[in-house]
Structure 1
Amino acid sequence: MLRSSLSAFADRISIPARRRSGPLTFTPNRIKVEILAGLTVALALVPEAVAFAFVAGVEPLVGLYAAFIVGLITACFGGRPGMISGATGALAVVMVALVAQHGVEYLFATVVLMGLMQIAAGVFKLGKFIRLVPHPVMLGFVNGLAIVIFLAQMTQFQTAPAPAGESHGPFNMLHGTWMSGATLYMMLGLVALTMFLIWATPKVTKIIPAPLAGIGIVSILVIALNIPVPNVGDMSSIKGGLPPFHMPQVPLNMETFEIIFPYALILAAIGLIESLLTLNLVGEIKEERGGASQECVAQGVANTVTGFFGGMGGCAMIGQSMINIKSGARTRLSGIAAALFLLAFILFGSSIIEQIPLAALVGVMFMVVIGTFAWQSLTIMRRIPLTDALVIVIVTLVTVWHDLAVAVVVGVIISALTYAWNNARRIDADIEETDDQKIYKIEGPLFFGSAEGFSELFTPNTDPDNVIVDFSRSRVVDQSALQAIENLAAKYESVGKTLQLRHLTHDCHRLLNKAGQLIVDSDDDPDYGLAVNYNVKTGAFGGGH
C-alpha cells in the first residue's frame, strides 16, 4: 500500500518514470539542475530556520548556523543523496523547555551529546530497526508531518503570535493575532499565485525548477509594484558572519550531565526517527535501499559539530527533501549547494533575501503539503484491515498533537500487538490417530500469545499411551513456548503416558540448550531439525529421531 501511495506521490511531483540503474553522470545539464534545486531549497530554508529558532527560544543565527552545518555535513556523508537536513520544528519544541530553564549554553552541550548518541546508534547499526516500522505507520507519519508543515505556515498570516504563557497544545500557533483586510487578501492572492506558478511552470519549461520560478516571479512582482506584504526581513535580520567555534560554557560535572542527558536522548531519538523515515520515503521514490547506519553517523557528526559552532542541531527535513526531489535533484550536489547558498545569504546576500515575500515561500510549502500527504491513504481505508486503518489515523493524530517519536512508538506497539493477537489465533493441529499412538501436527507459531491455545489442543486423559507432537509446520519462538511444552509434558507424565517431540527447528534446539533443558549435538538432525523425546520418568528432554 505504501509503495503505491509513494508511486502516486512521485507522479504528482513529476519524478521521471525511468529509473537509473547506476550513478548519475555529472553532465552540464545535471549540474545545473542540482545547483538550481539547491538554490530553491536554500531560499525555503531561511524562513523555516528563523521560525524554528524562535520556537526554540534562541537567536535566528543559531537556527541558520544549524541549517548550514547540518545540511552540509549530511549532504556530504548522509545515507541518501537528495535528502535535506537542517533545523526542524520537531526538535525545536523539545529544546524550548531546556533553553527557558537553563539557557542556550546548555542547549549547545545537549546538541553535542545528542550527536554522540546518534554516532553510537550508527556504529552499532541500530538504524536497521527502522525496518520494524510498518507501512501504516509510514503513511501516518507522512500525513501527520504534512499537517504539521501546513500548521507551521499559519504563523505567516499573523501580525502577532499567541500571548506568552497561554498554552493551546500543538495548535498554539492558531491563537495569535490574525491579519485582516487588504493585507490578508494580498497574502492569500500571492500564495495562490505562487502555487499556480509551481503547477504551471513544468508545462511551459523544465529549465528552471518550478518552486524557484514561483518564488522569483512573485518576488519580482511584489518588489516592482511595491505591494505591502510581509517579507523575510520582517521576521529578523539574517545577516551574520562565519559560524565561530564555541565551546559550550557549562560546568563539566555530573549535575550538567543529569540536566542535558534526558533532553539529548529525546532529541537523538526524534532526530533519528524522522531522518530514517525520511530516508525510507526518499528511498521509495528513488528506488534505493540501505544507508540507515550511514545516515545515523552523518546526523550524529553533523549535530556534534553544530553544537561546537553555536547551532541548535537538526535532522532530516521531509518538506525540504521533497522540494529538492521535486526540483529534479538526485545527487549530493544539490544538498551541498543548498548549504553553501544558505551561508552566502548569511554572509553577503541578506539584503536581497530579506526582500522575498513570505507569501511566495508559504505557497511553496503548501505545494509540499499537497505533495507530501498520502491522499491515497484516504481511499484505501475501507479496503485494508481495520487495525491498519486505525494505525494510520492514530499515528497521524499523535504526530500532530505530540511528536513524531511518540507517534511512531505508539504505531509500532499497536501493530505489534495486532500481529501477536492474529498469530495467537492461528495455532491449530491436524490429528492422526491409530490404536496405539496419536500424532498432533501443530500449525502456526508457538509463542507467548498462542501458548494457552496450544495447551488446549491436547487431551492427556483420553489420549493413547504414545503421543507425538510434530512441529514441522510450526516454530517454537520464546520462553513462554518452552514453558508450554514443559507443562504439556508434565500433564502426560502425571497420567503415565509417553510424549515425543518431533521436527523441532534448529533455533528451538538452541533455545532449549540455552534454557538448560536439552543437551543434544546440533548435528543429530542437520536437514530438517531435531526430533526430541520427553522422558516422563526423568522429566527431561532427550535426543532421538
Structure 2
Amino acid sequence: MAALPSFRPQLIDSLRHYNRALFRQDLMAGLTVGIVALPLAMAFAIASGVPPQAGIFTAVIAGFLASLLGGTKLCVTGPTGAFIVIIYGIVMKYGVANLIICTFMAGAMLVLMGLLRLGQVIKFFPMPLITGFTNGIAVLIFLTQLKDFFGLPVAQMPAGFFAVIDTLRQQLPLFDPLTLVISIASLLLILLWPKRFNSRLPGPFVALVLATLTVSLFQLPLETIGSKFGGIPQGLPAFTGLDVDLEHLSDLLGPAFTIALLGAIESLLCAVVADSLTGDKHDANQELIAQGIANMVVPFFGGIPATGAIARTATNIGNGGKTPVAGIVHALLLLLVILVAAPLAAYIPLAALAAILIAVALKMGDWDIRKAALFPKQDTAILIVTFALTVIFDLTIAVEIGLLMAAVLFIRRMAASTSVQQLRPEHAQLFERHSIAGKSVPAGCVAYRVEGALFFGAADTIDQLASQPSTVRVVILQLHRLVMLDTTGLLALSTLNQRLQEQDRTLILCGAGNEVTSMLRNARLAHEMGVGNIQPDLTTALQRAEEVLTSGVVWG
C-alpha cells in the first residue's frame, strides 16, 4: 500500500528565504488581485442564486486557506464561473442549506482525493472533453445573465436550458432600455479596456465603479444589490453549524461529487497554467488537500464552493506575485472591504455585475472553431457531445458520457494500433539486438513481433499464433515494441503458451522491457513457460530455439 502524501504546503518553502523585496512584490500583486476578485466574487454569488456576501466570504476564507496550505505558490482560490450553473441548480432543487452541506461533502472528497494520491486526475480528462464542458458552462452563464443585462421583469431565472430559453423568448420584448444602456456600456468598457492598464486598474473594477457612480449620482431607477439583497452586512461572517438531514443525505452525494470533480479539475488546471507561466512545479496532492480543507471550512461561514481561479492566478503572476503571500494579501484586502466599505456595495447595479459575468463567459470559452479542423473527427465528436450535454442537461451527465466516449474511442485506437507481424529477413534493420536482418530462423521455428498494446481491447490479436503448420515446433514472440501489457494480455499469453504446449510446441518470449519482464515473473508466466523461454533479445531467442529443436525439450 502506498504511503500517504506528506503534508507540506508551498508556503513553508517560500518563507525560508523570504525578504522585504519579495513582500513588496507580493503586496502589490495581492492588492491588484483583490481588486479583480471583488466584483467577480459578488457577481458569481448572485448568479449562483445566493447573496453577494457569500461570494466575498468564500473568496476571503477559501483564498486565505488555499494559499496558506496549498501545493502551488501563486494560484488564487475563490468562487469561479465554472461553478455557477452547478450551484444554481443545487439551490433551485435542494435549497441553500443543502448547498452548504454539498460544499462540505465535496471538500471532504477533495481531501480524500489528495490523500489517495489522485492529484494526477487531470491527465484522465482529454482536452476536447474539458473544452466541451467549459464552453457549455460559458453558454449557460451567458444565458442566465441576460435577465439582469436587459433588466427583464423576472423574479428568478429557472434552472434548465429549455426553461431559460422559453423565459427569455417571452420576456425579452419587455426589456428596460436604461438598464440595457448601462449593461452595454459596462460590457464594452470591460472588453475594450487597454491591456496596459489592466495590471494596475482592472477593467471589471473600473466598470463596476463607473456604473455605480452613474446610477447613484443620477438616481437612476435600476435594480441594485441594495434593492434586491438589502446590501452586504458589515463585519465578520457569523459561524453557523450544518443542518444535516440524514434522511436525504444520499440525494446530495451526486451533486457533491460533481462539485468535487469540477473543483479538482479547475484547481489542477489552474496549477498547470501557473507552472507554465512561472516554470515552477506544483504538488498536485497537496493542492487537492488544501482545496478540500478550504471547501470544508467555508460552509460554516455561509460560503459557496471554491477552486483555483485561472484568471486571478494569471493576474497574480502578471503583477509580480512570487509566493503564496500574494494570495493571502488578496484575501485580507477583501476582508478589509467587508469591514470598512461593505455599505457602499448597496449602490452597485446588477446590470454592471451581469456585464462582468457576460465578459467572463465570452473569455472563458474557446470559440475558435478553426481548431476543430485540426482535431481528429473522434475528438471533435467528444467536444460537441460534451458541449451539447452540458448545455441541455448538466455537467455530471456531460462528463460521464464524455469520459465514456473518450475511453471507448481510446480503446478502439489502441486496439487498432496493435498488430502481430511475422519477422522476415527482408525487414529493415532497426535495432541490431531485435532486428531479423542478418539472422536466420532455423527450420521448424517461426518468429513474430507484437506492436502496440496487448490489453483487454486487443488481447485476441495473438490467438492466431496458436494455429501453426505441422512443421512448426517453436514460436518466438518478440515484445520489444510492446508499449503496454495488462492482466488480460497476460492471460492471453498464458493461454497461448498452454495451447502450444498441448501441441508439443514451445513458446519463446524475447525483448521484453524491465516492466513487462517483471509482470511476467510476478504472474508466474515465466514459471509456466520455463525460465529458458524468456530471452532478452532475438539473438538469444533464436539460439534457444535451436536448442529446443535439437533436444526436443518443450518446457524448461
Query: Which TM-score tier does this pair reach, normalised by the shorter chain?
Result: 0.7 to 0.9
Letter in 2 for 1:134: P
Give distance in 2, aligned partners of 1:151 and 1:226: 28
Q: Is the 8 A contact 2:509 2:534 kept in 1?
A: no
CA deviations on 1:118-165 (whole Å, 9 max, x unpaired) are: 22221222122222222323333442333233234223234444779x
The aligned residue for residue 130 of structure 1 is 122
Q: Is the 8 A contact 2:186 2:352 kept in 1?
A: yes
Give distance in 2, aligned partners of 1:204 and 1:244: 37
Which runs of structure 2 are paired with 1:139-538 in the superposition (5 Å)?
Answer: 139-156=131-148, 157-161=150-154, 168-169=160-161, 172=164, 175=167, 177-178=171-172, 179-195=174-190, 198-202=191-195, 207-236=200-229, 237-250=231-244, 258=250, 261=253, 263-318=255-310, 332-333=324-325, 335-376=327-368, 378-426=369-417, 427-432=419-424, 434-456=442-464, 459-462=467-470, 464-475=472-483, 477-519=485-527
> Measured at CA, do residues 233 and 48 of structure 1 come closer, stay the same or move farther in structure 2, by a change above 3 Å?
farther
Structure 1 gaps of 5+ residues are 1-21
SS of match in other structure, 2:509 = strand
SS of match in other structure, 1:242 = coil
SS of match in other structure, 2:421 = strand
Give distance in 1, aligned partners of 2:161 and 2:367: 26
The aligned residue for residue 44 of structure 1 is 40
> Measured at CA, do residues 370 and 480 of structure 1 come closer, stay the same or move farther in structure 2, by a change above 3 Å?
same
Give distance in 2, aligned partners of 1:358 and 1:233: 10
Q: Is the 8 A contact 1:82 1:330 kept in 2?
A: no
Which runs of structure 2 are paired with 1:85-124 in the superposition (5 Å)?
Answer: 85-86=78-79, 88-93=83-88, 95-96=90-91, 99-100=94-95, 104=97, 107-124=99-116
Q: CA deviation at 1:518?
A: 3.4
Q: CA deviation at 1:422?
A: 1.6
CA deviations on 1:244-274 (whole Å, 9 max, x unpaired) are: 33332448xx757656555544433333233
CA deviations on 1:200-250 (whole Å, 9 max, x unpaired) are: 433578542333333333433443344443333233122243223333244
Letter in 1 for 2:456: F
Q: CA deviation at 1:35?
A: 0.6
CA deviations on 1:158-177 (whole Å, 9 max, x unpaired) are: 4444779x764476376264
Q: CA deviation at 1:434?
A: 4.5
Give distance in 1, aligned partners of 2:354 and 2:315: 13
Give distance in 1, aligned partners of 2:247 and 2:193: 57
Q: CA deviation at 1:379?
A: 0.9
Q: CA deviation at 1:388?
A: 1.6
> Measured at CA, do residues 394 and 279 of structure 1 come closer, stay the same or move farther in structure 2, by a change above 3 Å?
farther
Give distance in 1, aligned partners of 2:33 and 2:113: 31
TM-score, normalised by the number of residues in structure 2: 0.77
Q: Is the 8 A contact 2:385 2:402 kept in 1?
A: yes
> Measured at CA, do residues 226 and 346 of structure 1 come closer, stay the same or move farther in structure 2, by a change above 3 Å?
same
Q: CA deviation at 1:477?
A: 0.9
Q: Is the 8 A contact 1:162 1:174 kept in 2?
A: no
Q: CA deviation at 1:386?
A: 0.8
Letter in 2 for 1:379: R
Give distance in 1, aligned partners of 2:60 and 2:367: 32
> Measured at CA, do residues 522 and 474 of structure 1 come closer, stay the same or move farther in structure 2, by a change above 3 Å?
same
Give distance in 2, aligned partners of 1:454 and 1:361: 62
Give distance in 2, aligned partners of 1:152 and 1:317: 21
Q: Is the 8 A contact 1:39 1:337 kept in 2?
A: no
Which 10-residue stretch deviates more, 320-329 or 236-245? 320-329
Q: CA deviation at 1:108?
A: 4.2
Which 10-residue stretch deviates more, 131-140 or 315-324? 315-324
Q: Percent identity?
A: 24
Q: CA deviation at 1:30?
A: 6.2
Q: CA deviation at 1:295?
A: 1.8
Size of the aligned set, in residue pairs, is 506
Give distance in 1, aligned partners of 2:218 and 2:488: 75
> Measured at CA, do residues 223 and 243 of structure 1 come closer, stay the same or move farther in structure 2, by a change above 3 Å?
closer
> Measured at CA, do residues 541 and 509 of structure 1 come closer, stay the same or move farther in structure 2, by a change above 3 Å?
farther
Q: CA deviation at 1:98?
A: 6.9
Q: Is the 8 A contact 2:444 2:471 kept in 1?
A: no
Q: Is the 8 A contact 2:44 2:79 kept in 1?
A: no
Structure 2 gaps of 5+ residues are 1-16, 425-440
Q: 1:68 aligns with which of 52, 60, 76?
A: 60
SS of match in other structure, 2:449 = strand
Give distance in 1, aligned partners of 2:401 and 2:271: 20
TM-score, normalised by the number of residues in structure 1: 0.78
> Measured at CA, do residues 271 and 501 of structure 1 come closer, stay the same or move farther in structure 2, by a change above 3 Å?
same
Q: CA deviation at 1:303?
A: 1.7
The aligned residue for residue 438 of structure 2 is none
> Measured at CA, do residues 129 and 30 of structure 1 come closer, stay the same or move farther in structure 2, by a change above 3 Å?
closer
Which 10-residue stretch deviates more, 294-303 or 472-481? 472-481
